A = this chain, B = another copy of it.
Amino acid sequence: MSKTKTVYFGAGWFNDKQNRAYKAAMKALEENPTIDLENSYVPLDNQYKDIKVDEHPEYLHDREWATATYRGDLTGIKSSDIMIGVYLPEEEDVGLGMELGYAMAQGKYILLVVPDEDYGKPINLMSWGVCDNAIKISELQGFDFNKPKFNFYDGAVY
């Protein structure tokens, strides 16, 4: 039986395109035999006190809620083996950017996963530099997380 790794699942859920990529990447991880998804960290499932700010906008200004959710995500990154960023070149996300910088500092292997149809489009220079590898979503199911190698994103920067 295969050894398995845990991941921090960095991905947006704010529009249709993000949701499609989110689900496709999640499904690939479920079927990847080198992944321990049960013990991985999914930010959407880990908001403080299970409060979702879109349903409870009064928490938008709650510093206790924000601090705990922020630190929860940092805890998720440092406690996981791998940092995954589901990356849409045309909808880049500042929060994912910061998570990538933190994951780099914590010595995590950083893998960007890009929808097949977007792979190769220009991405931000700092995301290009911080990642240890960048693959298509269709490659995620078969990716061997026990042998995490470096490679360049095979596309442009801006």
How many angstroms between the C-alpha atoms of A74 and B124 in the bound complex? 14
Taking the closest CB of chain B, its distance from the CB of A37, in whole angstroms, is: 12
CB-CB under 8 A for A79 and B148, given A63-B64, A67-B67, A126-B95: yes
How many angstroms between the C-alpha atoms of A105 and B74 in the bound complex? 12
Contact residues of A between 99 and 158, Cβ < 8 Å to B = 99-109, 122, 124-130, 132, 146-152, 155-158
How many angstroms between the C-alpha atoms of A61 and B156 in the bound complex? 5
How many angstroms between the C-alpha atoms of A109 and B127 in the bound complex? 22
Contact residues of A between 54 and 83, Cβ < 8 Å to B = 60-61, 63-64, 66-75, 78-79
Cβ of A30 < 8 Å from any Cβ of B? no
Cross-chain contact A71 with B132 (CB below 8 angstroms) = yes
**Candidates B3, B79, B124, B155; contact of A94 at CB < 8 Å:** B124
CB-CB under 8 A for A149 and B99, given A60-B158, A63-B64, A104-B105: no
- How many residues on A have C-beta within 8 angstroms of the other chain's C-beta atoms? 60
How many angstroms between the C-alpha atoms of A103 and B79 in the bound complex? 12
Residue numbers in B under 8 Å from A96 (CB-CB): 94, 97
CB-CB under 8 A for A78 and B95, given A68-B150, A152-B63: no
Cβ of A98 < 8 Å from any Cβ of B? yes
Selected A-B contacts with CB under 8 Å, 10 pairs: A46-B149, A60-B157, A61-B155, A63-B63, A66-B157, A73-B126, A78-B109, A97-B101, A98-B98, A106-B107
Rank and list the top 3 A-B pairs by shortest CB-CB distance, nearest first. A101-B101, A97-B97, A105-B105
